[in-house]
Amino acid sequence: MIVSKTPLRCSFFGGGTDFKDYYENSRFGYGSVLSTALDMYVYITVNRNFNEKIRLCYYGNELCDHVNEVKHNIIREALKLTKIETGIEIFYSADIPLSGAGLGLASSSALAVGVLNALYAFKKQHICADELAKQACVIEIEKLGQQIGVQDQYAVSFGGFNRYIFNSDGNVTVLPVLCDKSIILALQDNLMLFFTGAARDSRNILSEQTKTICEKMSMLDNLVETVDAAYSDLAAGNIDNWGSHFDKTWQIKKKFSAGVSNPMIDDMYERAKKSGALGGKILGAGGGGFMLLYVPKEKQQTVKESLHEYRQVKFGFEPQGSNIVFIDNKE
């Protein structure tokens, strides 16, 4: 039996610049994202199936004779990539709703990375974080044709608080954020996460964004510049500036697609700002999921009261990426 544990992620700045159409043509020669892994996880348990079938348990259940019969698209492609055709059981659990694709925390990529990690361990093979991320990209983008960027796969594979550089040649550079620990802790203390209560299918939003990237190059350039500014402010300890950076990027992001925001999200955001939040954003593609807010400690109770109908989710930064937490690999 094998158990993998893969963190979800929170993308602070630069989302959208991790799309191939942008970073291959960026005037900077790259795209860039600043993000952290979270102490919220996807767990994958893998075990040999005695009857030589494939058994899957997630928000649905499947019992198949062969990998080609598997309906869950990510798990099916992970089995094919690792050349496992039958005789295995896979159980999927998570700290967010199992059907929570579209919540903005990279649960789909965490599933892809976590399944790959567990399947390779089942085969007694070790795969490094970079290779896990690359293979997860192959599954989600090449095999399944999803119109998404590549930041999520790297964020959940590597874990930690990092700046990612998506180079024009396709290579990805991972740069750990280096600053005083007290600054990181202060930043974490000034962030609040609320669940909007609404899940959304991000595919339509991302499809519209992808089709119009060439028209939005200047806005995406601004997002790269904001990554630079936020990184510099963090190193200098000027973390309150992150509030205005969030606000700036949220205003840009809303122009990407009509589905990024809606009256409920706009109202939620304005109420938070009036109560003391310096800025914020919807995580992921937009349209629902989780709202991240930068709120000084002395204003947090007021903001919480103003958003009383929304569930606040406590979280912390996670230093580790996807890893194997249990192994009993019997012959």
Total number of residues shown for the chain: 331
**Number of separate domains in the chain:** 2
Q: Are 153 and 108 in contact (CB under 8 A)?
A: no
Q: How does strand 323-327 pair with strand 290-294?
A: unpaired
- Same domain for 30 and 123, yes or no, is yes
Nearest to 294 by CA among 259, 264, 250, 262: 250
Structure tokens at 171: 């290579």
Question: Distance between alpha carbon 256 and the CA centroid of its chain, in Å?
Answer: 19
The reported pLDDT for the residue numbered 224 is 97
- Same domain for 221 and 140, yes or no, is no
Q: Is 47 helix (H, G, I), strand (E, B) or coil?
A: strand
DSSP code, position 58 = S
Give pLDDT < 70 ranges for the chain.
99-102, 199-212, 330-331
- Same domain for 21 and 141, yes or no, is yes
Q: Is 138 helix (H, G, I), strand (E, B) or coil?
A: helix
Q: Are 210 and 21 in contact (CB under 8 A)?
A: yes
- Same domain for 209 and 126, yes or no, is no
**Number of neighbours of residue 71 by Cβ within 10 angstroms:** 10
DSSP code, position 216 = G
Enumerate the H helices of the chain as residue ranges: 20-23, 73-81, 107-122, 129-137, 151-158, 181-189, 202-211, 217-236, 241-253, 263-274, 300-306
- Same domain for 71 and 195, yes or no, is no
- Same domain for 38 and 167, yes or no, is yes
Show the domain range for 111: 2-178+318-327
Q: Are 38 and 315 in contact (CB under 8 A)?
A: yes
- Tell me which amino acid residue 255 is: K
- Same domain for 172 and 295, yes or no, is no
- Same domain for 114 and 217, yes or no, is no
Q: What pTM, to 2 d.p., does this model score?
A: 0.94
- Same domain for 120 and 204, yes or no, is no
Q: Sign of torsion, CA 104 109 115 118? A: negative
**Backbone φ and ψ of 245, nearest 5°:** -65, -40
CATH number at residue 167: 3.30.230.120
Which residue shows structure tokens 């997002």?
Answer: 223
Q: How many CA atoms lie within 13 A of 246 on its CB side?
A: 26
- Same domain for 190 and 243, yes or no, is yes
Nearest to 134 by CA among 119, 146, 116, 122: 116
Phi-psi region of 195 (alpha: psi -120 to 50; beta: other; left: phi over 0): beta
Please give the C-alpha separations between residue 184 and each of 125, 236, 255, 290, 314, in angstroms, as whole numbers.
35, 11, 30, 21, 16
The reported pLDDT for the residue numbered 285 is 73
CATH number at residue 219: 3.30.70.890
- Same domain for 79 and 23, yes or no, is yes
- Same domain for 195 and 262, yes or no, is yes
